[in-house]
């Protein structure tokens, strides 16, 4: 997979809905009903972060949910890429980008949304062929104003901002011409997941799916 084709596929996935849920799953038994609630609410692209022991099993469970497109977040190493692809991930997300990680995703034919927080990082990825990036950590890196400023001289790149995104600020990001979608965890709060309140999560997903994009 070339960087260009990886970005094309990642952009297609990002265009499925205005929000990509960023999920930290502690119990794989929650994975399928959680994915079902989010997909039914209109959020088909799901990012499961590799931050818990249950993450890979959760990806495998979510990969079976009809209508869902599950990806693996927090990819850091080539080993993460292999494990994520084996579990059923259809795309990957990373907080930053290294040559080894990019090589591994291209070799595994796993579309990657590589992270960038500065103009230099974005330019290096564009030079390699990536034009659909993750802006992370969004709020800590200057928020929507910073992303707008990066977009002015580098209009070739689209972004999915993640990190500190909430209902209070998401509209600021979605109003930018270089933002395709945003990543957020508020659509699947841990208390609702632990309570198994899938109806409430579906409602949150419906509200997020209705957000307007530029």
Handedness of CA 156, 158, 164, 169 (dihedral sign): positive
Of the candidates 61, 85, 106, 134, the residue annotated as catalytic is 134
Is residue 207 among the annotated active site residues?
no
Rounded-to-integer distance, Cα 64 and Cα 193, Å:
19
Distances (CA, A) of 146 to 26, 72, 172, 178: 33, 26, 11, 12
**Helix (H/G/I), strand (E/B), else coil: 124:** helix
First to last CA, the chain: 29
Rounded-to-integer distance, Cα 54 and Cα 46, Å:
15
Return the structure tokens found at 162. 């993640």
Rounded-to-integer distance, Cα 139 and Cα 75, Å:
21
30 Cα distance to chain centroid: 19
Is residue 134 among the annotated active site residues?
yes
Of the candidates 47, 61, 106, 202, the residue annotated as catalytic is 47
Active-site residues, by number, are: 47, 134
């Amino acid at each position: 997979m070339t960087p260009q084709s990886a970005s094309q596929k990642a952009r297609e996935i990002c265009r499925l809905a205005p929000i990509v849920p960023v999920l930290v799953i502690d119990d794989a038994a929650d994975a399928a009903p959680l994915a079902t609630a989010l997909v039914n609410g209109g959020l088909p692209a799901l990012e499961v972060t590799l931050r818990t022991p249950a993450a890979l099993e959760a990806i495998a469970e979510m990969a079976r949910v009809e209508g869902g497109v599950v990806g693996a977040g927090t990819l850091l190493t080539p080993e993460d890429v292999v494990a994520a692809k084996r579990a059923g991930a259809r795309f990957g997300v990373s907080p930053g980008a290294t040559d080894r990680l990019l090589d591994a995703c291209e070799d595994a034919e796993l579309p990657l949304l590589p992270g960038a927080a500065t103009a230099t990082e974005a330019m290096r990825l564009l030079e390699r062929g990536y034009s659909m990036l993750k802006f992370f950590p969004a709020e800590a890196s200057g928020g929507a104003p910073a992303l707008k400023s990066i977009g002015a001289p580098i209009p070739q790149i689209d972004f999915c901002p993640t990190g500190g995104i909430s209902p209070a600020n998401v509209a600021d990001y979605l109003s930018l011409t270089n933002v395709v979608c945003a990543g957020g965890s508020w659509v699947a709060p841990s208390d609702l997941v632990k309570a198994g309140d899938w109806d409430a999560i579906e409602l949150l997903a419906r509200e997020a799916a209705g957000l307007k994009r530029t």
